[in-house]
């Protein structure tokens, strides 16, 4: 081929490729769903002392709690909701479950079994922590903050009262401040309303549900096919707390927890949204895990 016919061939190929792209955009595969919710496996927490939940071993189907992390992908950005119990940097995946013994800053100890790093699960669906637009934590306890520092480049969505509780010298409760210390300098939006509509279209709404901690919050996600889903944070841990009306002993304020539960139950009734109790081992086991997603 001469130089000029070569150029002509390339130009023709470009026109064909462009026409094909236009055709497939208008008549080809359906447009991707506007909103996706990914569920990541962030481990299993073994509860030794059921009295902390005002429950007896005989009253629950299992004393294990799931630890889940979630990624919301919206056309206007992405948000990570909760970041696990064990930092990725603290262990090496082997392909088999690895049990980590954690000593918290207040001396409390916990055993958590992890199988996959959060970062590897994110990467599998096409994201690195640096790509994430927003980080929101249901609350600051260690089993929700483990990988928070990795998302310090995101905009942190938090209530002033929770942020204040996190950055005192010895935060109350089961906290591991070293796991979230980098958020101190993150770009931060202090949520000033009970409901905070993240993408301003009503599909991803952070709802104030205080009691477990001062600024505890839950997340409502309105999905096209799945319908409404409410991620509980630690409003409940065991489904039996909900059924039997039990409140843990270690709440920041038990009356606030009762009031938040009543408000959220009314919201669920009004919207028909499903409640996903994040720590509910059996409930979480039934969910599709990333790379599968809810839309
Ligand atoms: Zn928790």
Alpha helices in the chain (DSSP H): 3-27, 118-124, 142-145, 160-166, 239-244, 254-271, 281-285
Q: Measure CA 269 to chain center.
A: 23
Closest CA to 288 of 226, 239, 217, 236: 226
pLDDT at residue number 232? 98
* pLDDT confidence bin for 105, thresholds 50/70/90: confident
Percent of the chain past pLDDT 70, that is, above it, reads 89
Segment 186-242, tens digit of pLDDT = 999 999 999 999 999 999 999 999 999 999 999 999 999 999 999 999 999 999 999
What spacing in Å lies between the alpha carbon of 158 and ligand 1's midpoint? 17
| Per-residue CA distances from 36 to 72, 156, 245 (Å) | 6, 20, 32
Structure tokens at 65: 């709690």
The mean pLDDT value of the chain amounts to: 91
Strand order in the sheet with 217-223: 195-197, 204-208, 217-223, 227-231, 274-276
Q: How far is the CA of 139 from the centre of ligand 1 (A)?
A: 8
Residues with CB under 5 A from ligand 1 (ion): 143, 234
The pLDDT tens digits for 244-258 are 999 999 999 999 999
Ranking 7-21, 91-105, 115-129 by mean pLDDT, the lowest is 7-21
d(CA 186, ligand 1 centre) in Å: 23
pLDDT interval class at 32 (50, 70, 90): low
Ligand 1 centre distance from Cα of residue 209 (Å) = 14
**Hey, which bits of 83-150 come out as E strands?**
98-103, 109-114, 134-136
Q: Using the mean position of ligand 1's atoms as its centre, give its distance from the Cα of residue 25 in Å.
A: 43
- Res 73 pLDDT > 60: yes
Distance 160 CA to ligand 1 centre (A): 20
Q: Are 87 and 79 in contact (CB under 8 A)?
A: no
Helices (H), 105-218: 118-124, 142-145, 160-166
pLDDT at 19: 44
| CA 209/CA 64 separation, integer angstroms | 24
User: What letter does residue 16 receive in the DSSP assignment?
Assistant: H
Distance from the alpha carbon of residue 263 to the mean position of ligand 1, in angstroms:
20
Residue 132 CA to ligand 1 centre (angstroms): 22
Compute the distance from residue 21 Cα to the ligand 1 centre, in Å. Answer: 47
Whole-number Å distance between alpha carbons of 137 and 191: 12
Overall size of the chain counted in residues = 295
What is the CA(7)–ligand 1 centre distance, in A? Answer: 62
- Expressed in angstroms and rounded, the spacing between residue 234 Cα and the centre of ligand 1 is 5
Average pLDDT over residues 145-172: 97
CA of 4 to the centre of ligand 1 (A): 67
Please state, in angstroms and rounded to a whole number, the distance separating the CA atoms of residues 41 and 144: 12
- What's the gap in Å between 121 CA and the centre of ligand 1? 20
pLDDT at res. 17: 46
User: Mean pLDDT over residues 26-37, rounded?
Assistant: 69
What's the whole-model pTM score? Answer: 0.88
Question: What pLDDT does 33 receive?
Answer: 66
Q: How far, in Å, from the CA of 279 to the mean position of ligand 1?
A: 7
> Distance, CA 218 to ligand 1 centroid (Å)?
12
Strand partners of residue 64: 46
Number of C-beta neighbours around residue 38 at 10 A: 23
Kindly tell me if the per-residue pLDDT of 68 is higher than 80: yes
pLDDT of residue 108: 85
How far is the C-alpha of 146 from the C-alpha of 91, rounded, in Å? 12
Q: Counting runs of H as helices and runs of E as strands, what totals does the chain give?
A: 7, 13
Ligand 1 centroid – CA 141 distance (Å): 6
Spacing, Cα 84 to ligand 1 middle (Å): 9
User: At a CB cut-off of 8 Å and minimum separation 6, what does 189 contact?
Assistant: 155, 156, 157, 158
Place of tokens 């599968």: 292
Token pair belonging to 196: 């905070």
Ligand 1 center from residue 183 Cα (angstroms): 19
Q: Ligand 1 mean position to 281 CA, how many Å?
A: 12
- Write down the pLDDT at residue 23: 42
């Amino acid at each position: 081929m001469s130089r000029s016919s070569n150029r002509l061939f390339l130009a023709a190929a470009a026109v064909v490729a462009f026409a094909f792209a236009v055709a497939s955009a208008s008549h080809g595969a359906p447009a991707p769903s506007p909103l996706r919710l990914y569920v990541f496996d962030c481990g299993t927490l073994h509860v030794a002392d059921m009295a902390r939940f005002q429950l007896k071993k005989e009253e629950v189907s299992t004393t294990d709690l799931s630890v889940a992390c979630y990624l919301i992908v919206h056309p206007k950005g992405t948000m990570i909701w909760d970041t696990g119990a064990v930092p990725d940097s603290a262990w090496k995946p082997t392909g088999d479950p690895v049990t980590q013994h954690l000593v918290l800053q207040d001396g409390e100890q916990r055993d958590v079994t992890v199988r996959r790093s959060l970062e590897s699960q994110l990467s599998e669906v096409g994201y690195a922590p640096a790509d994430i637009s927003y980080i929101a934590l249901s609350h600051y306890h260690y089993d929700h903050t483990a990988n928070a520092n990795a998302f310090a480049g995101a905009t942190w969505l938090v209530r002033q009262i929770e942020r204040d509780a996190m950055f005192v010298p010895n935060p109350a409760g089961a906290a591991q401040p070293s796991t979230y210390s980098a958020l101190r300098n993150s770009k931060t939006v202090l949520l000033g309303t009970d409901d905070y509509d993240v993408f301003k279209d009503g599909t991803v709404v952070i709802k104030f549900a205080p009691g477990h901690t001062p600024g505890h919050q839950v997340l409502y996600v309105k999905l096209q096919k799945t319908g409404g889903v409410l991620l509980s944070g630690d409003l409940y841990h065991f489904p039996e707390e909900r059924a039997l009306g039990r409140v843990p002993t270690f709440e920041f304020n038990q009356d606030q927890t009762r009031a938040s539960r009543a408000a959220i139950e009314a919201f669920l009734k009004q919207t028909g949204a499903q409640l996903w109790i994040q720590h509910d081992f059996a409930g979480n086991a039934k969910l599709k895990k990333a790379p599968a997603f809810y839309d």
